[in-house]
A and B are shown apart, each in its own frame.
Chain A
């Protein structure tokens, strides 16, 4: 089985978010970048398939040379090889188009991406890849088993979960649950050493229309100070929630 895992290079979850260039660009200064958490859950499941059922795992990233440290981390965790499409990921459609092109030329059985990235929160790349290729797709995936040519997949729905079956090739958008937090792997020294010798193939992007563009960013307005209520005067809290905030 050939698995392709799409990884996004995003600011660490603890990062302070600031913008530069007249609020048109994210301020990378002092920011630590990581594998997008939703992608890392999927990557870990892919490694599980490799170890338990036999699979090759390729990771792909659409990004400039700066993302290579993040790609190396994925290799150190256990991916066999990597592809970097050498382009600035301008929008979700552009990224999906690049990845769909690679999938078309390499016939992967399973494509795993995170359900959304922590930076753009677009939640569109995996579905667009599937739609561009005309393959089966499951979103918000919290579990996947593969038996021969058939996948059994669970997805989160509002207020519960749904179990689906689909034949390969398949694209899934993973999230926490596809593996648990405790199953995530910290690369060990051997993994880091081996990763240095693994291949990162750099390819140039194919043309894609630019459907959306970010004009500018804005930070939420600072909040007014909290109104503190004494624990001995909870009637006042109810009064504020009822008459001032009007939420109860």
Chain B
């Protein structure tokens, strides 16, 4: 009856989202009087899950699962959930987990709610609050099936420690060839750069920066903050920056702790995509720029003066506080 979470790892190391998911699951387990079981795939040391309230880990170690296969991984989580008789199954909002979740929902005949931003509003009936209309609204969704599957939105819950005594058990689900019929040919990862998906801080530039040659100062600001760089849609459409940096309603969603928008006026589509960020800063020459309406902090000024100055001051601040 325990709650099952799929605790994601990369190169054998658990990801931060796994601990966030565990924190969320523990709260729900307390509400429903049950415990949390995590399933891991090819993860090495899983003991840290105990710090966040997980009392049991089903460890799957299988060379066939070295490359991600949505069907294979969905099957692993499905069998783990069935073994535990889980009524609530939780995944994170990474690209891999969002890929496997709909397959898992069908496999478990579970009602599925994605983009969940808070603890369940109610347990019986089971109602969750989720982002909808590209973050312009919330939807309260009731899941009416016996088994419920939730994907928890990025950065919506945070880490909450709650020590549990952890038991580990190796688990060998049955997998078939059909689980591996989509084959991974190659993987290209940008290394040495913070990705928008993982970033705590995102520094984003718009047309106000006037041209791709001016991105150097943004990259310097990002470096001081350990931030990812991003851009508005016009900037990616103009080819100043790659599409992978385009954030907004039709680009990547951002849910960082801090989002700094430089020279971005703040079209409604842009705001929709970045609105889940906790704190927003606008730097713009135009005091009427719509971004100031959604920003927490703003600087009305010329980015070409403000950004280098801010970078210098942040360097000094970091040197003092590290």
Contacts and interface: CB of A to CB of B under 8 A. Distances in A.
Does chain A bind chain B?
Answer: yes
Interface of A: 11, 13-14, 17, 19, 26, 37-38, 91-93, 96, 118-128, 130-132, 134, 136-140, 152, 155-167, 176-177, 180-182, 209-220, 223, 226-231, 234-235, 237-238, 240-242, 245, 247-248
B98 A139 contact: yes
A35 B100 CA distance: 26
B15 to A, nearest CB: 9
Contacts of A248: 201, 225, 258, 314, 317
Contacts of A247: 200-201, 257-258, 278-279
Nearest to A231: B301
Interface in B115-145: 115, 127, 129-145
Interface in B123-177: 127, 129-145
Interface residues of B, number: 93
Given A128-B102, A137-B103, A167 B181 contact: yes
B48 interface: no
A88 to B, nearest CB: 16
8 contacts: A17-B137, A120-B132, A137-B103, A159-B193, A217-B132, A226-B295, A228-B292, A248-B317
B6 to A, nearest CB: 15
B62 interface: no
Nearest to A153: B182
Given A93-B111, A166-B182, A160 B187 contact: yes
A143 B294 CA distance: 34
Given A14-B269, A17-B133, A226-B296, A217 B139 contact: yes
B208 interface: no
Contacts of A139: 70, 95, 98-99
A122 B114 contact: yes
A240 B297 CA distance: 8
Interface of B: 68, 70-71, 74, 94-96, 98-99, 101-103, 105-107, 110-115, 127, 129-145, 178, 181-190, 193, 195, 197-198, 200-201, 225, 237, 243-244, 246, 249-251, 257-258, 268-269, 272, 275, 278-279, 281-282, 292-302, 305-306, 309-310, 313-314, 317, 321
A182 B321 CA distance: 47
Contacts of A227: 296-298
B102 A226 contact: no
B114 A136 contact: no
Contact of A210 (B144, B190, B281, B296): B144
B225 to A, nearest CB: 7
A245 B25 CA distance: 27
Contacts of A245: 258, 278-279, 296-297
A13 B268 contact: yes
Given A139-B95, A231-B301, A247-B278, A220 B141 contact: no
Contacts of A210: 144
Given A181-B237, A241-B279, A160 B182 contact: no
A156 to B, nearest CB: 6
Nearest to A224: B296
Contacts of B68: 157, 162
A118 B140 contact: no
B183 A165 contact: yes
A166 B181 contact: yes
A212 B275 CA distance: 26
Nearest to A14: B268
Given A212-B142, A229-B299, A235 B127 contact: no
Given A163-B186, A238-B317, 14 more contacts: A37-B250, A118-B134, A121-B115, A123-B114, A127-B102, A128-B102, A156-B244, A157-B189, A159-B189, A160-B189, A214-B141, A219-B136, A220-B138, A247-B278
Contacts of A220: 135-138, 275
Nearest to A151: B182
A163 B187 CA distance: 6
Contacts of A152: 185
Nearest to B259: A247
A17 B292 CA distance: 20
Contacts of B282: 226
A247 to B, nearest CB: 4
3 closest Cβ pairs, A-B complex = A127-B102, A231-B301, A211-B111
A160 B188 contact: yes
A229 B297 contact: yes
A229 to B, nearest CB: 5
A176 B245 CA distance: 12
A148 B246 CA distance: 33
A118 B133 contact: yes
B190 A160 contact: yes
B253 to A, nearest CB: 9
Contact of A214 (B111, B140, B294): B140
Nearest to A40: B250
Central interface residue in A130, A136, A177, A248, by most chain B CB within 10 Å: A248
Nearest to A245: B279
